[in-house]
Amino acid sequence: MKKDISNRADIQLLVDTFYNKVKLDETIGYLFNDVARVNWEQHLPRMYDFWENILFQTGGFKGNPMVAHVQLHQKSPLTAAHFERWQQLFLATVDELFEGDKAELIKQRARSIATMMLVKVHPSNDPRSIL
């Protein structure tokens, strides 16, 4: 039986495992590697803070992810397929590593975030296509 997500170390494991997949992914990897040119040393700790705040309401995340995604969309259009693939990778990573109430909650929040991002950065996409 897998354990549930219970602390920042679990969040770090989830985020690191997820982004290792993202970097190599044929559908969305180029957005991170070539378009956004993500500085992983800076990005990963921000993602730890983001997801820790999402799951445990720590208040540790400062920033506006929507602005970053709108700017990325202006450089290279983000589509429903991109958000769907992000969601598939994230949910699969959660399922590989964890099970329990917090694991289910983080998956629900990830679905909501992906839907909201899609609607905000590309309002012509039908959010039902990624649910």
- What 8-state DSSP symbol labels residue 36? S
125 vs 93: which has the higher pLDDT? 93
DSSP summary character for residue 34: I
Domains and CATH numbers, the chain: 8-130 (1.10.490.10)
For residue 10, the one-letter residue type is D
Q: CA-based Rg of the chain, rounded to a whole angstrom?
A: 14
d(CA 101, CA 124): 34
Contact present, 83 and 119 (Cβ < 8 Å) = no
Contact partners, residue 71, CB within 8 Å, separation at least 6: none
Which of 25-39, 43-57, 60-74, 101-115 comes out lowest in average pLDDT?
60-74
Tokens of 60: 């540790």
Which pair of structure tokens corresponds to residue 86? 């992000």
Measured in residues, the chain has a length of 131
Q: pTM score, two decimals?
A: 0.89
Contact 17, 93 (CB under 8 A): yes
Q: How confident is the model at residue 129 (pLDDT cuts 50, 70, 90)?
A: very low
